[in-house]
Structure 1
Amino acid sequence: MDRRTSIKAIVAASLGAGIGPMPLLSAGKGQGSRASSSLDPYAEMRWARGYEGQRRADLGDGTFLNPVFAGDHPDPTILRDGEDYYVTFSSFDAYPGIVIWHSRDLVNWRPLTAALRTPIGSVWAPELIRHDGRYYVYIPARFPDRRSIYVIHADRIEGPWSEPVDLDLPRHIDPGHAVGEDGHRYLFLSGGDRVRLTPDGLATVGEVEHVYDPWRYPEDWVVETFAPEGPKIVRRGEWFYMVTAVGGTAGPPTGHMVIIARSRSIHGPWENDPQNPVVRTRSEREKWWSRGHATLFEGPGGRWWMIYHGYENGYWTLGRQALLEPIEWSDDGWARPLGGDLSRPIAKPVDLGAQPHGTPLSDDFTVDRFGTQWAFYDPAPDEAARVRLAEGALHLRAKGSTPGDSSPLCCIAGDHIYRLEADVEVEPGAEAGLLLFYNRRLYAGLGFGDEGLVMHRYGLQRARGTPPGQRDNGAAGPVRSLGLRLTNDRNILTIHTSSDGRRSWQKFDVQMEVSGYHHNVAYDFLSLRPALYAAGRGTARFRNFTYRALG
């Protein structure tokens, strides 16, 4: 049996592995719980569980079940450095951003650092590489009135990372770095374009040129738009391979797809794969929608893989999650994915035994976790000055007048059912609370302050008096401290308050359905994230933030 045949056998066996039922919240157990619906064709899926019950891919039996990164981890860019692998993702409006993760088995990952500290706008589809002993991240970013591609660099992957250098490329996104057979460095760009780099990689040489006309799908396919983007270049043997996304990133679930072209020279001509697209969601009944933005790379033991993103069926709110798929090389030298629709377990690239994965989201605010967990949404350059950690509390200076313009602190959740709790105190003039936050236009949750409770729904605010136990008649009045609990049960939000230090909880009288809080409604390519906010004047204090996945 040759190695290619053995890989196919391993994958075929793992795809046929049985999957037990997913543990569910029983009716009446826990607030906001509901039984699994027979309408969900994937209700029988079982993921492994990590920190605080968060789902993880490694099943502990030599197989994994996608996603390898649950929750919003779009546009993955991966670097192999010996036996170590590093990956980062689009961080959009979150700062600190460009969180770099490390793994040796491609399934279990731990965060190392946030490489980007200086706001340069909304960050889209970066490229992480190593060249001549130095690490680089090429970063497309856009402010409302300016867009370009920047580069940061470091001598060690952990940093320190440099300040951003502007490459003055205002018309392109999604850079893909390559070194040609001529020894020159290039950035391949959206739309089939390319520009040459200086030897140090910190400036461009000459003008942007068009070098590739991407493969086009049939006219009657259901897609969002053509949008050729995310070119990633890999060299294998005598060929350069260009992997590109077309079909639009969101929109219809069947739109986004992966195509491949190859050339014997970095300068072309580029030959399209006769089996394009090599990855595509063909039906809205599949587990993973809008699969695309892929990178080919060699993994442990010489086996090849593809990492890309996709939306989970029924969970646009979780954003684009990172997916890992094995490939084989055909006799005529094309990459052939082996993972099917990725709805079943797959053999791990290598089994190194028990490995930590992810990071706990609960925070007692005794150590600085900005960048690896917390990030400001759409911050000003001096946003960090709003934060102080002291006496076991996060002291957050108020900003703006609503959650939408307050630059809330957010973290990424990847579970179908989870619960947040925190103790919150506000000074006069301030309003603070807990949210499920998508963007400045769309969020849900509860806050309080001078006017009592403030309900947030659809991105709109409504005063709701004071909670039970603080004023018998429920009339409006100031609230200065409160325990808050948000439970997100498959996109149903239930809110509770506690006036006695979380010893007892009172259910808020409005529950919210939030499945529409996503990109196809409000743009921005983000996810619905747990968030802390403080608006108005003065300071809010948050203590004992806890996160728990419930199923």
Structure 2
Amino acid sequence: MSYNRRDTIRLALAGGGTLAGGALLPQAPADAAGAAAEAGGAPLWRPGVEGQRRADLGNGTYRNPVLAGDRPDPNVLKDGEDYYAAFSSFLYYPGAPIWHSRDLVNWTPLAAAVTMPIGSIWALDIAKVGDTYYIYIPALDDADPARPLKTYVVHAPSMAGPWSDPIDLHLDGMIDPGHAIGEDGGRYLFFNGGNRVRLSDDGLSAAGAVSHVYDGWPIPEDWIIEGFALEGPKITRHGGWFYMFSGQGGTAGPPTSHMVVVARSHSIDGPWENCLHNPIVRTASREEPWWSRGHATALEGPDGRWWLVYHGYENGLRTLGRQMLLEPMEWTADGWPGATGGDLGRPLSMPGAGGGDHGQALSGFAPDAIGTRLTFWAPRSGYLDRARIADGALTLSTQGTGPADASPLLFVAGDRSYEIEVEVAIEGDTQAGLLLFYNEKLFCGLGLGTERLHAWRIGQEERWPPGAPIDAPRLFLRLVMEENVVTFLHSPDGRRWTKERSYEVGGYNHNVADGFLSLRPGFYAAGQGRATFRGLTYRALADVEDVVRA
């Protein structure tokens, strides 16, 4: 039996297999990878927890992304048999999320390193010196016009924390720090634009002036890129050389913008020689499955082979943000790294045994969900006091007048198509509901008010027609996303559903709205009072390409 996209969306709207008209729809196969294999094609994904995309195909191979959803600017630290990844978190707090792996393919959340709002957290870098872990963090703080772009460091005895409060390094105006230890044992931070500074021995302050040490790789003038954008330097020592892996070309813009370039030197002080094979990674055509590939960390895998971890946009799905990709690399006879994964459109051999835990459940409200799963958008001081999770329910105190200034509580969804359902109850003069949120100017959703529903689209409330009148303090809400087309529904009892409206949201992305963000589902509560959310369920929906290869 075959399945098409219309069957998938109808199944979701019907709430489990029954249409409003009474026609019974077939359930899609539980094992999408197995169904694809039976059809003679390579699976595009393997269903994991709640059906979410999992790269490990269970047969000794994996398929990108290794960590689906918005995982921008990944930086990975190898620490014995453990691998730790941290990501840009921008204005989502708690910030600087940390994930853990043993094989570079299967990942689980560990902690968030920053709870104190310090601005928009950009590409950071993890280091371990002795028994102490460090994360170097650039943050854009629009509230401080005198020093808008600062560099901080946090430290901890374990990657699980507890992490120190952020320490201001007083290194301003630079982004994308990359920690390195020179041949003399000295500690350094490299930055965008080919800049570098020496650090104190404890790594908590600068020990000299910033200097320019590298000019980047000259990009051919006829290449279609966003800009020169030399950034993301990551230093790896191998075979008597220091290798600097950098991003160039711009992290978004045209699909062919971003790339990975390499330079090397016998000394941390240079001079730096560009690789003859640059760029070693680049999206060459908009037809490829992954766009804007770049910002790489090179490291040895558990199998002794070498790997590149970086990010990229999925073709046609910029709304998911920049997802984490893994590509094998080899050292050539002349000592340069070479990527060997092609366009990442096919399964690749696993770097380790695989089969471990991966991902996280998105259903329910676990007591530790805030920080490891749920994050506030652009919160004020004391924001953690707004949320209370008890007995499987989230109680959220109100802020602002609508989704734009309510500091909604959001999470990352990494599936092309999915369904979310939640019950919301309001107290006082409150408006609360379910959103897809890019930023305060670009979002859509459905909220319950004291007299009617509030339907939001492109950051504004719909008035023609307005939301349906509702005379109840409690309502069930459902969101069905099918590859950038979202449908919002509501129900008085969780059984009888009414479709409110549908939107096309493919334009809710960085190339339209700036900010390097993603379109995230979540919850908001505005007005004067509070809202309680219960019964959160998340279910990934398999697309026809994922289930059966014709």
Common topology (TM > 0.5): yes
> Residue 399 of structure 2 contacts residue 527 of structure 2 at CA under 8 Å; is this kept in 1?
yes
* CA distance in 2 between partners of 1:174 and 1:336 (Å): 23
Q: Which amino acid aligns with 2:93?
A: Y
- For residues 128-143 of structure 1, the aligned pairs below 5 Å read 128-143=126-141
1:183 Cα deviation after fit: 1.1
Correspondences of 1:222-371 after superposition (within 5 Å): 222-352=224-354, 354-363=355-364, 365-371=365-371
How far apart are residue 45 of structure 1 and its match?
Answer: 5.2
| CA contact 2:245–2:262 (8 Å) conserved in 1 | yes
1:522 to 478, 500, 513: 513
Q: Distance in 1 between matches of 2:349 and 2:527?
A: 52
Matches within 5 A, 1:307-456: 307-352=309-354, 354-363=355-364, 365-456=365-456
Describe the SS at the equivalent of 2:85.
strand
Q: Which amino acid aligns with 1:503?
A: R
- For 1:22 and 1:96, the matched residues in 2 are separated by 40
Given the superposition, is the C-alpha separation of residues 358 and 197 from structure 1 closer, same or farther in structure 2, using an over 3 Å criterion?
A: same
Q: Does structure 1 retain, via aligned residues, the 8 Å contact 2:451–2:470?
A: yes
Displacement, 1:368?
A: 2.6
Q: 1:361 corresponds to which letter in structure 2? A: L
Separation in 2, partners of 1:322, 1:418: 20
One-letter amino acid of the counterpart of residue 93, structure 1: L
**Structure 2 residue 524 is matched with structure 1 residue 533:** yes
C-alpha contact 1:138 1:149 (8 A) present in aligned 2: yes
Deviation, 1:402, is 1.5
Task: Return the letter of the residue paired with 2:67.
Answer: F
Alignment correspondent of 2:38: none
Provide the TM-score with structure 1 as the length reference: 0.90
Give the aligned residue type for 2:528.
R
Contact 1:413 / 1:529 at 8 angstroms: preserved in 2? Answer: yes
Distance 1:62 1:341 in 2: 20
1-structure distance, mates of 2:211, 2:8: 61
Residues in 1 aligned to 2:133 and 2:502: alpha-carbon distance in whole angstroms: 47
**What root-mean-square deviation, in Å, do the aligned CA atoms of Structure 1 and Structure 2 show?**
1.9
Question: Within 5 A, what are the aligned runs for 1:149-188?
Answer: 149-188=151-190
Aligned to 1:496, the other structure's residue is in SS state strand
Contact 1:420 1:485 in 2 (8 A): yes
Name the aligned partner's letter for residue 377 of structure 2: Y
| Aligned residues of 1:22 and 1:46 also touching (Cα < 8 A) | no
2:63 to 59, 62, 65: 65
Query: Unaligned regions of 5+ residues in structure 1, if any?
Result: 1-20, 35-42, 468-473
1:23 positional shift = 8.0
Match of 2:53 among 52, 55, 72: 55
2:483 corresponds to: 490
Could you tell me how far 1:427 is from its partner in structure 2? 1.4
Q: Distance in 1 between matches of 2:6 and 2:74?
A: 33
Matched residue SS, 2:327: strand
Please state how far the C-alpha of 1:54 moved relative to its aligned partner.
0.3
Deviates most, 386-395 or 512-521: 386-395
Return the TM-score normalized by structure 2.
Answer: 0.90
Within a 5 Å distance, the mapping from 1:29-178 to structure 2 comes to 29-31=10-12, 46-144=44-142, 145=144, 146-178=148-180
- CA distance in 2 between counterparts of 1:32 and 1:541 reads 24
SS of 2:431 mapped into structure 1? strand
Aligned length: 512
Q: Partners of 1:103 and 1:442 in 2: how far apart? A: 34
What is the identity, as a one-letter code, of the residue corresponding to 1:328? E
**How far did 1:46 drift?**
2.1
- Give the deviation of 1:129 after TM superposition: 1.2
Structure 2, unmatched stretches of 5+, are: 15-24, 26-40, 543-550
The answer for the alignment partner of 1:189 in structure 2 is: 191
**Aligned-pair distance for 1:301?**
2.9
Partner of 1:26: 7
Q: Quick one: structure 1 residues 449 and 80, their matched pair in 2 at CA, closer, same or farther if it must change by over 3 Å?
A: same
Secondary structure, aligned partner of 2:404: helix
Asked whether 1:507 is paired with 2:487, we answer no
- After superposition, what is the alpha-carbon deviation per residue over 1:33-85, rounded to whole angstroms, capped at 9, x for unaligned? 99xxxxxxxx9852001111000100000000000010000101111111111
> Alpha-carbon deviation of 1:276?
0.8
Structure 1 residues 335 and 393: alpha-carbon distance in aligned structure 2, compared to 1, 3 A threshold: same
2:540 aligns with 549
Identity %: 54
Distance in 2 (CA, whole Å) between partners of 1:329 and 1:310 is 23
SS of the residue corresponding to residue 252 of structure 1 reads coil
Please give the per-residue CA displacement for 1:242-301, whole angstroms capped at 9, x wherever unaligned.
Answer: 001010110000011110000000000000001111111010000000000001111113
